[in-house]
Amino acid sequence: MIELHSLEAEHGVIGAMLKQPHLIDVLSDDLSPDAFAYADNADLYRLILALHDDGQPVDVITLGERMAELPSGMRTMAYAGEIHLNTPSAANAKTYAKIIRDRAVARQIVAAAERIHEIAHDQACVEDKIAQVQSTILALGTDGGDAECQTLADMWAEHIEVIQERLDRFSKGNVMDGLGSGIPDLDRYTQGMKPGQMIVVAGRPAMGKTTLAMNIAADVGINQRKPVAVISLEMSKTQLMDRLLAAVGGIPLPSLKTGECANDYSAELTSAGLKLSQSPIVVSDVPVMTIARIRSIVRRQKHRMGGMGLVVIDYLGLVEGEGAGRTEDVTVMSRQIKLLAREMGCPVIILSQLNRSCESRPDKRPVLSDLRESGAIEQDADIVMFVYRDEVYHPNTQDKGIGEILIRKNRDGEIGMVPTAFQGDKSRFVPLAAHSRTSNVVEVNF
Ligand SMILES: Nc1ncnc2c1ncn2[C@@H]1O[C@H](COP(=O)(O)OP(=O)(O)OP(=O)(O)O)[C@@H](O)[C@H]1O
């Protein structure tokens, strides 16, 4: 068993700094004052750093001048003098700094265990408790400076591999470096959905947000064999399964609802059922969720499935906040979704509704300012795409059956519009041949 603090190591580091002040930069590089267990030592260390930052000489006298007394009441000069005297050399100071850091983490673990003990006893539901325990554990050891910054030399060494991968893909005729959506024209804009991206799919009610998101989820799960977690706060598992079967099997929804599909589309039903059941797609339809709970579910599924390719959350307006007011809540949630994408190392598609202002304009195609609830969504998102179907407003439009995907924000690429064929009865958006706006539909292939 190790002690949770080492007075000797703390004295060793401070003594080394007093004996050889040129070591202050080296030793303090990765050592926070909070890592010291003893208040007097932590304050003395802070004083050393403050004097050094001010360009002042650091010795027993200057320390005593800056602060006469330490928290214990001891005279600073006397205490620092004693440490200086008792430090034979600065030779092992780096090892002492590591001991201080390691013991600080050991103390954090004990504090986390106490916190977890409290969480186990409180009144929250079990999912919230698990989410709190996970964040308590994830917060451990995050103070290390090594993880915060990386030299450009190290980044360059890693980046060579990234460029090599891109070149390999390019020479195979594939320039996309993320997940496909199943709609090649859309992928040309995004170059694929990449890890860490927050992708907002927004639109007025019934435009087809859920349809588009589920089409993408099915393509990623079935064609690209990547794990997908669908968090559906709006629709039940039964509704989603109907839509997935309709889209993947090309089976009309009404025939699925009446059960007639069992006779009329039995081959399509069997094939779609098999494709879906063999795909790594998981669905949660718990209607009440916070982002913490979503994170906890996705983490568990990532662990269970050995990775996570894509997360879909349908939709933001139904996610519960902290109760600080909706705009503030959405601002925090939007940030948390972006962090979720980074933590899981996959893109997150978040569905969002729009305010009504687009409906009062002559051209009702949405723009970024129509995003409901908070400007933070627009800022945090890497890609914002709107689903728009002119026939919803103008039943006799010449664009009947056309679903436009309007890419209004694209952090790493162009913005623009992708026309698709909307097949509402089969719950799918189908690619159109070579930018056509006619019904020249490309075969969907799940
Ligand atoms: N059998 C059907 N035939 C034709 N269209 C259908 C059929 N069933 C559903 N639809 C259409 O599909 C669309 C539903 O799309 P979806 O639920 O994806 O929209 P949404 O934007 O997510 O809507 P909301 O915000 O209301 O949830 C509606 O426009 C609906 O009319």
Q: DSSP assignment of 168-223, as one string?
A: HHHHTT----SB--S-HHHHHHHSSB-TT-EEEEEESTTSSHHHHHHHHHHIIIII
Pick from 291, 368, 284: nearest CA to 334: 291
CA of 391 to the centre of ligand 1 (A): 13
Ligand 1-lining residues (CB < 6 angstroms) = 203, 205-211, 234, 253-254, 353, 424-425
What integer is the mean pLDDT of 213-240?
A: 94
Pairing of strands 319-320, 348-353: unpaired
- Tell me, what CATH number does 16's domain have? 1.10.860.10
Measured by CA distance, the residue closest to atom 28 of ligand 1 is 206
Do 302 and 353 share a structural domain? Answer: yes
> What is the reported pTM?
0.71
Pick from 277, 285, 297, 392: nearest CA to 340: 297
Q: Which atom of ligand 1 is nearest to the CA of 353?
A: 25
Residue in the block written with tokens 């005729």: 173
Q: Which of 105, 138, 171 is the last residue of a domain?
A: 138
Do 401 and 288 share a structural domain? Answer: yes
Measured by CA distance, the residue closest to atom 23 of ligand 1 is 206
Do 210 and 125 share a structural domain? Answer: no
Question: Looking at the domain assignment, is residue 17 inside a domain?
Answer: yes
Question: Looking at the domain assignment, is residue 52 inside a domain?
Answer: yes
The pLDDT value given to residue 440: 57
Q: At what angle do helices 237-249 and 209-218 cross, to 10 degrees?
A: 70
Number of neighbours of residue 285 by Cβ within 10 angstroms = 16
Do 360 and 223 share a structural domain? Answer: yes
Q: Which of 120, 138, 156 is the last residue of a domain?
A: 138
**Residues 248/236, Cβ–Cβ less than 8 Å:** no
CA of 188 to the centre of ligand 1 (A): 26
Q: 81: which residues sit within 8 A by CB, 6+ positions away?
A: 60
Q: Which atom of ligand 1 is nearest to the CA of 212?
A: 18
**Residues 216/300, Cβ–Cβ less than 8 Å:** no
User: What tokens appear for 69 in the block?
Assistant: 């007394």
Q: Give the end-to-end CA distance of the chain in Å, rounded to a whole number.
A: 57
Residue in the block written with tokens 């200086």: 84
Do 232 and 119 share a structural domain? Answer: no
Do 195 and 118 share a structural domain? Answer: no
Look at 25-34, 55-64, 84-93, 94-103 and tell me which has the smallest mean pLDDT. Answer: 25-34
- Tell me, what CATH number does 416's domain have? 3.40.50.300
Q: Tell me the C-alpha distance between 26 and 354, whole Å.
A: 53
Number of neighbours of residue 444 by Cβ within 10 angstroms = 20
Domain range for 91: 7-138
Q: Which residue has the higher pLDDT, 438 or 345?
A: 345
CA of 135 to the centre of ligand 1 (A): 37
Q: Which atom of ligand 1 is nearest to the CA of 203?
A: 21
Question: Looking at the domain assignment, is residue 156 inside a domain?
Answer: no
The pLDDT value given to residue 435: 44
Q: Which of 138, 170, 195 is the last residue of a domain?
A: 138
Say how many domains are in the chain: 2
Residue in the block written with tokens 């195979």: 172
Q: Tell me the C-alpha distance between 65 and 403, whole Å.
A: 74
CA of 205 to the centre of ligand 1 (A): 8
Question: Looking at the domain assignment, is residue 292 inside a domain?
Answer: yes
DSSP 397-412: -TTTTEEEEEEEEETT
Please state, in angstroms and as integers, the Cα–Cα distance from residue 24 to each residue in 15, 16, 93, 147, 268, following that order.
11, 8, 10, 21, 71
The pLDDT value given to residue 26: 83
Do 184 and 41 share a structural domain? Answer: no
Residue 416 has pLDDT above 90, yes or no: yes
What three-state secondary structure class fits 286? coil
Number of neighbours of residue 402 by Cβ within 10 angstroms = 21
Do 256 and 386 share a structural domain? Answer: yes
What three-state secondary structure class fits 417? strand
Q: Which residue type sits at 375? A: G
Question: Looking at the domain assignment, is residue 166 inside a domain?
Answer: no
CA of 423 to the centre of ligand 1 (A): 10
Backbone phi, then psi, for 67, in 5-degree steps?
Answer: -150, 120
Whether complex ipTM tops 0.90: yes
Question: Looking at the domain assignment, is residue 170 inside a domain?
Answer: no
Q: 22: which residues sit within 8 A by CB, 6+ positions away?
A: none
What integer is the mean pLDDT of 218-233?
A: 95
Beta strands in 244-353 (DSSP E): 281-284, 289-290, 310-314, 319-320, 348-353
* Average pLDDT score, the chain: 89
